[in-house]
């Protein structure tokens, strides 16, 4: 059944690909401005559109920020599919595993990315011209998720740069 849905996405490139699950257990909250306090001093100013766009080789515009307890989501317009950078504080090995399980529970295949920070994995949603790649990495108690139309090497470059900015 999932294969039929995936085949439907392949034939219809104008249909947006749904955003992958966001590995968090916190309830959703209202959108915030970039000036509003975010967990651990993390906010979308740590992932400005010029840095994210350059690393992913996408033309992006200023992110919309959403803060949800220990999670900050930066959503960008442009880039063909939803482009998102997500910071999460208080992420340990158990929290990271729960987020990864959220992807597999939703039917997405994940691939471990050994040797990239403390732990990392990738996932791809869609096929053909409509593909959304996600890379999730954890360093210490900070987790960064990047979802975009870029390839994993570009996403790795961005995650490395973002960890360097923290």
Domain membership flag for residue 7:
no
pLDDT tens-place string over residues 8-17? 333 333 333 3
Compute the distance between CA of residue 57 and CA of residue 65 in angstroms, rounded to an integer. 21
Q: Which residue has the higher pLDDT, 151 or 3?
A: 151
On whether residue 30 sits in a domain, the answer given is: no
The CATH number of residue 161's host domain is 3.30.200
Burial (CB count <10 Å: 0-12, 13-18, 19+), residue 134: buried
Q: Is the pLDDT of residue 2 over 60?
A: no
pLDDT in tens, 113-136: 999 999 999 999 887 777 899 999
Domain span holding position 70: 44-165
The domain total for the chain is 1
How far is it, in rounded angstroms, from Cα 18 to Cα 43?
A: 24
Nearest-angstrom CA–CA distance, 93 and 95: 6
For residue 31, being part of any structural domain is answered with no
Q: Alpha-carbon distance 12 to 99, whole Å?
A: 29
Asked if the structure places residue 35 within a domain, the reply is no
The answer to whether residue 6 is domain-embedded is no
Residues in the chain: 166
Considering the domain boundaries, does residue 27 fall inside one?
no
DSSP state of 106: T
pLDDT, one tens digit per residue, over 38-95 is: 777 899 999 999 999 999 999 999 899 999 999 999 999 987 788 999 999 999 999 9
The reply to whether 49 falls in a domain is yes
Reported as a pLDDT band with limits 50, 70 and 90, residue 23 is very low
Report yes or no on 3 lying in a domain. no
CB 18 within 8 A of CB 26: no
């Amino acid at each position: 059944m999932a294969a039929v849905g995936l085949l439907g996405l392949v034939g219809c490139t104008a249909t947006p690909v749904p955003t992958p699950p966001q590995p968090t257990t916190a309830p959703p909250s209202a959108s915030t401005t970039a000036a509003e306090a975010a967990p651990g001093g993390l906010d979308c100013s740590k992932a400005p559109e010029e840095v994210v766009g350059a690393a992913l080789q996408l033309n992006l515009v200023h992110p919309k920020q959403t803060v949800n307890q220990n999670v900050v989501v930066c959503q960008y317009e442009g880039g063909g599919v939803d482009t998102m950078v997500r910071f999460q504080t208080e992420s340990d090995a158990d929290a990271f595993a729960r987020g990864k399980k959220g992807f597999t529970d939703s039917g997405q295949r994940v691939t471990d990315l050994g040797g990239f920070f403390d732990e990392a994995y990738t996932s791809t949603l869609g096929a053909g011209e409509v593909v959304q790649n996600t890379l999730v990495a954890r360093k210490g108690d900070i987790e960064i998720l990047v979802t975009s139309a870029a390839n994993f090497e570009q996403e790795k470059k961005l995650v490395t740069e973002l960890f360097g900015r923290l």
